[in-house]
Chains A and B, each alone.
Chain A
Amino acid sequence: AQRVTQPEKLLSVFKGAPVELKCNYSYSGSPELFWYVQYSRQRLQLLLRHISRESIKGFTADLNKGETSFHLKKPFAQEEDSAMYYCALRGSQGNLIFGKGTKLSVKP
């Protein structure tokens, strides 16, 4: 079964603290994973994808096939990082399979 699990519904940190949003997946084959971000009342936008190995807005994510994880990390959180974060996996229908999302709240 293809599945994405984001175990934390809400993650609250202080500004300047490190952040790690967890994502685990279930997929037989070579997975393609993404992180999408949704700021308040805005559309979802791509934050990063594992195949490009980019760092966007200070966020990075490494695919760990052994642990079937794709955790999102940032060393120093900023208030503007407060948003809803979705981990997504490419599905067999060409769609994206989303986790339930983690709401990140960065306090001043």
Chain B
Amino acid sequence: DAGITQSPRYKITETGRQVTLMCHQTWSHSYMFWYRQDLGHGLRLIYYSAAADITDKGEVPDGYVVSRSKTENFPLTLESATRSQTSVYFCASRDSRFRSYEQYFGPGTRLTVT
């Protein structure tokens, strides 16, 4: 049982390039989230999805695009990467069937934009 996985784990890209970070979960959780982790800022929500084909903006959505055509996948695309998007990106999921709002996190993708 893989749980929640992210790919790639490490990525170096150049300014202006498009890059897509993948997130896959095997639990059929309805909710999925993308966070970025930066020193001094903790984790900030970029986008989230309550179900397939339902997405919404979080705290820092500018420069990012998401889609969710299947429950298990939630890719995050940087349309034109900027140096300020150098960060560690975490995907998370949550089961809506239970009262708890506990989220399960992927291993993270370390993205460097040069």
Question: Chain A interface (Cβ within 8 Å of chain B)?
Answer: 6, 9, 32, 34, 36, 42-46, 49, 51, 86, 90-91, 93-101
In the complex, what residues of B have CB within 8 A of residue A99's CB? 42
Report Cα–Cα, A86/B40, bound state, in Å. 12
- Which residues of A sit under 8 angstroms from B42, Cβ to Cβ? 6, 86, 98-101
CA gap between A98 and B58 in the complex, in Å: 13
- Minimal Cβ-Cβ distance residue in B for A90: B101
Instruction: Tell me what chain A mostly uses at the interface: helix, strand, loop, or mixed.
Output: loop
Residues of B contacting A90 with CB < 8 Å?
Answer: 101
Residue pairs across A and B with CB atoms within 8 Å: the count is 57
In the assembled complex, how far is the CB of residue B98 from the closest CB belonging to chain A, in whole angstroms? 11
B108 touches A32 (CB 8 A): no
Contacts of B102 in A (CB 8 A): 34, 46, 49
CB-CB nearest 5 A-B residue pairs: A100-B42, A98-B43, A90-B101, A44-B105, A98-B42
A50 nearest CB across to chain B (Å): 11
Check A94/B108 contact, CB under 8 A, given A32-B101, A43-B90, A99-B42: no
Partner of B48, one of A46, A49, A94, A98: A94
**Cα A96 to Cα B42 with chains together (Å):** 12
Whole-angstrom distance between the alpha carbons of A106 and B90 in the complex? 26
What is the bound-complex CA distance between A24 and B103, given in angstroms?
A: 20
Can you list 13 A-B pairs with a CB-CB distance of less than 8 A? A9-B40, A34-B102, A42-B107, A43-B90, A44-B90, A90-B101, A93-B58, A94-B96, A96-B33, A98-B43, A100-B40, A100-B41, A100-B42
